[in-house]
DNA sequence: TGGTGCTCCTGATTGC
DNA sequence: TGCAATCAGGAGCACC
């Protein structure tokens, strides 16, 4: 079954770069919340962004941060969130738009046009905070592995412990910020680790190798503008092409590119997990 | 305290 | 052809 995939760190970074190119320096006029459930933290009034310019578009893990000075918009796209200019071809129109109006979750009016947070499954979130980094730290979010690789690596070495499956640990944003299901599976394949291996069985060298593999696979995905499956497109309508380079993710039943044995799919912590039982033996 | 599993949500797909 | 069931996913929270 081909389904929509959520943007993970490489896709979020691709979106961040596109937004920065389109919107940096733009003047915000209004933030209109169409679906109140999108808004969680509200440290500042949405009205305060009016007349202010977008200073920067930042990212930490899978969170996007629109920096408007005293107000910071922290956006998580979750499963299906997308930020698109009004009128973009991917947005529903007419009766379909009316039927799906709740999926147009908030709108940002700027002097460069209106931008829409469109979110099919409505899992995405918006937090209005005064200091995004402090807000992330309060939540125990790990350092971003692409922004400060040394700090993130050290953090991972210390926190990737306990009896949990290493796949579960990789997906824990308080341990490895930004790693999602696709890149966790690929990093485990590259380091020949079975996804159900207990984290505390791994020594420092193995944890370090796993962290490096996760960073490397995400860097490669960014270079190819993310991992598109059915319908993820960037702002210019271009697909990410990293999927064709995946070794295990969503390749269940297909032959391993290394040993030729069939890739298997299991569920670890409720997440579909793909691995080669020969290359990644327990 | 650490770990597990449920919940949220909806479009696409599958099976009958 | 149409309907119901199933699946996918990240993060937060309740529970053990």
A3 touches strand B (CB under 7 A): yes
Q: What's the pLDDT at A242?
A: 61
Strand B, nucleotides covered by protein (CB < 7 Å): 2-14
Using the predicted structure, report yes or no on whether residue A108 has a pLDDT greater than 90: yes
Q: Binning pLDDT at 50, 70 and 90, where does residue A227 land?
A: low
- A67-81 pLDDT, tens digit per residue, is 997 899 999 998 888
Mean pLDDT calculated for residue range A48-74: 92
Nucleotide nearest to A6 (CA to C1'): C9
Q: Tell me the CA–C1' distance in angstroms for A256 and C14.
A: 40
Catalytic residue, chosen from A60, A62, A190, A251, is A62
Q: Binning pLDDT at 50, 70 and 90, where does residue A20 land?
A: very high
Using the predicted structure, report yes or no on whether residue A26 has a pLDDT greater than 90: yes
Nucleotide nearest to A121 (CA to C1'): B9
Catalytic residue, chosen from A29, A219, A257, A271, is A271
HEC secondary structure over chain A: CCCCCCCCHHHHHHHHHHHHHHHCCCEEEEEEECCHHHEEEECCCHHHHCCCECCEEEEECCEEEEEECCEEEEEECCCCEEEEECCCCCCCCHHHHHHCHHHEEEEEEECCEEEEEEECCCCCEEEEECCHHHHHHHCCCCCCCCCCHHHHHHHHHHHCCCCCEHHHHHHCCCCCCCCCHHHHHHHHHHCCCCCCCEHHHCCHHHHHHHHHHHHHHHHHHHHCCCCCCCCCCCCCCCCCCHHHHCCCCCCCCCECCCCCCECEEEEECCEEEEECCCCCCC
Mean pLDDT calculated for residue range A224-236: 54
- A177-186 pLDDT, tens digit per residue, is 989 888 899 9
Q: What's the pLDDT at A96?
A: 82
Mean pLDDT calculated for residue range A260-264: 89
Active site residue A8: yes
Q: Binning pLDDT at 50, 70 and 90, where does residue A1 land?
A: very low
Strand C, nucleotides covered by protein (CB < 7 Å): 7-12
Q: What's the pLDDT at A3?
A: 40
Q: What's the pLDDT at A94?
A: 83
Q: Could you give the domains of chain A?
A: 9-138 (3.20.190.10), 149-275 (1.10.8.50)
Active site residue A62: yes
Mean pLDDT calculated for residue range A185-199: 92
Q: Binning pLDDT at 50, 70 and 90, where does residue A231 land?
A: very low
| Percent of the residues in chain A that have a pLDDT greater than 70, as a whole number | 91
Q: Binning pLDDT at 50, 70 and 90, where does residue A232 land?
A: very low
Average pLDDT, chain A: 86
Mean pLDDT calculated for residue range A126-140: 90
Mean pLDDT calculated for residue range A194-207: 91
Mean pLDDT calculated for residue range A83-103: 86
What's the pTM value of the predicted model, to 2 decimals? 0.91
């Amino acid at each position: 079954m081909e389904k929509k995939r959520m943007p993970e760190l490489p896709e979020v970074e691709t979106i961040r770069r596109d937004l920065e190119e389109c919107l940096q320096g733009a003047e915000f006029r209004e933030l209109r919340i169409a679906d109140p459930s999108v808004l969680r933290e509200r440290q500042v009034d949405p009205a305060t962004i009016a007349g202010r310019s977008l200073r920067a578009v930042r990212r930490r893990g899978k969170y996007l941060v629109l920096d408007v000075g005293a107000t910071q918009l922290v956006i998580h796209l979750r499963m299906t969130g997308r930020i698109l200019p009004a009128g973009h071809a991917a947005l529903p129109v007419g009766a379909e738009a009316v039927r799906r109006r709740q999926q147009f979750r908030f709108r940002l009016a700027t002097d460069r046009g209106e931008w829409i947070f469109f979110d099919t499954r409505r899992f995405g979130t918006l937090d209005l905070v005064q200091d995004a980094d402090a807000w992330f730290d309060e939540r125990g979010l790990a350092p971003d592995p692409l922004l400060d690789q040394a700090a993130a690596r050290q953090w991972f070495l210390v926190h990737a412990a306990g009896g949990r499956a290493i796949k579960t640990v990789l997906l824990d944003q308080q341990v490895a910020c930004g790693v999602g299901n696709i890149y966790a599976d690929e990093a485990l394949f590259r380091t020949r680790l079975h996804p159900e291996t207990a984290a505390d069985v791994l020594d420092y060298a193995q944890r370090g190798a796993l962290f490096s593999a996760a960073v490397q696979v995400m860097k490669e995905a960014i270079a190819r503008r993310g991992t598109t499956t059915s319908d993820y497109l960037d702002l210019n309508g271009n697909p990410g092409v990293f999927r064709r380079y995946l070794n295990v993710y969503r390749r269940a039943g297909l032959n391993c590119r290394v040993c030729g044995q069939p890739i298997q799919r299991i569920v670890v912590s409720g997440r579909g997990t793909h691995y080669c039982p020969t290359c990644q033996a327990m």
